[in-house]
Structure 1
């Protein structure tokens, strides 16, 4: 009987030891699975963040590229404004008798075409004469007798490209004369 107990005891002990080892293996597998899930979640979050960063980078790059193109366009148009001014002055001072009306008409045509091209690119002429003086759009060159705060005369046209001011209008601004000036004499 003692032999039977010995035979039974090691088998039972082996089964229990096997169950304990299986339980430990199961626990370690569960722990490894949890760690793998956490790692996968961390990788997913990092990947999503990297993807969002890349999308933002592409958007910023597009905006910068558009701003650079707009700036280059604005610089070119600003450089062409003196040419437009010179053509306008030539037309104002030319008479039809000077080398015939064909020459003057040719310059007029060049002026209109150049102005149309610039306007197609977004160039806007600032309206000044008769308007309220706006220091954001006008540069006061002198004050003259006239309606207070109104632009009396435009000396040089001003231009905008979209919302960007390329050149302010150079203007004469009206200022009412004081009646007190005659009392001092």
Structure 2
């Protein structure tokens, strides 16, 4: 072999050895890098999974709250509609209660003279009919005399001394009180023993 060929062979061998060393070093670096990348990727993936899981939980809670709010709204709307239907006539009945009072006052003062008896019977019939129509709508008069004073149902306008009743008992009703179904339409004006 010539000197050049020998040198060329040596150079090739050196390059081959260097290339093998570079390849070996590159493989080790790639293995190390892959190991690090894999570990980092697993940690990143785990963090992303935890973040997404937290987000899913948050959305599930929001959905549950929204459904509960909607159910409450639906129930409240149904209850308001029922109450509206139940008490739709309350405004009219409130305006008619003084008419009942006036009928009662008219019947307390009986006229005298010819034909008075038939007139009184006619007014009594109208009064009973009027009361029965209002009762059919749910209006009832309160019984107050002898009951314990209750500010939800009674309006005390006077306190009187009484030997017959204990303290805090209604002794006289000055104006009737009325209930419309289960609500107080007008509290009774009463005198209370003191």
Distance 2:23 2:142 in 1: 109
Cα distance in 1 for partners of 2:107, 2:48 equals 87
Residue of structure 2 equivalent to 1:2: 17
TM-score with structure 2 setting the length: 0.62
* Larger gyration radius, structure 1 or structure 2: 2
Aligned to 1:164: 184
Which of 76, 82, 86 is the equivalent residue of 2:102? 86
Q: Given the alignment of the two structures, is residue 17 of structure 1 paired with residue 37 of structure 2, yes or no?
A: no
5+ residue gaps, structure 1, are 176-185
1:131-170 to 2 correspondence within 5 Å? 131=146, 134=149, 136=151, 137=154, 139=156, 147-148=164-165, 154-161=173-180, 162-164=182-184, 166-170=186-190
Q: CA RMSD in A?
A: 4.0
Structure-2 separation of matches of 1:67 and 1:26: 60
Shift of 1:46: 2.4
Query: What displacement does 1:25 show?
Result: 2.3
Spell out, residue by residue over 1:73-126, the C-alpha distance to the aligned partner (whole angstroms, 9 max, x if none). Answer: 54432321111122233334256943773x544433332222123223332222
Alignment of 1:125 onto 2:141: yes
Aligned residue pairs, count: 172
- Distance change in 2, residues 1:117/1:2 (3 Å): same
**1:144 Cα deviation after fit:** 9.0
TM-score, normalization by structure 1: 0.64
Q: Is the 8 A contact 2:149 2:170 kept in 1?
A: no
Please give the alpha-carbon distance, in whole angstroms, between the structure 2 residues aligned to 1:169 and 1:96. Answer: 34
Which ranges of structure 2 fall in alignment gaps of 5 or more residues?
Answer: 1-15
Q: Secondary structure at the match of 1:82?
A: helix
**2:171–2:190 contact (8 Å) kept in structure 1:** no
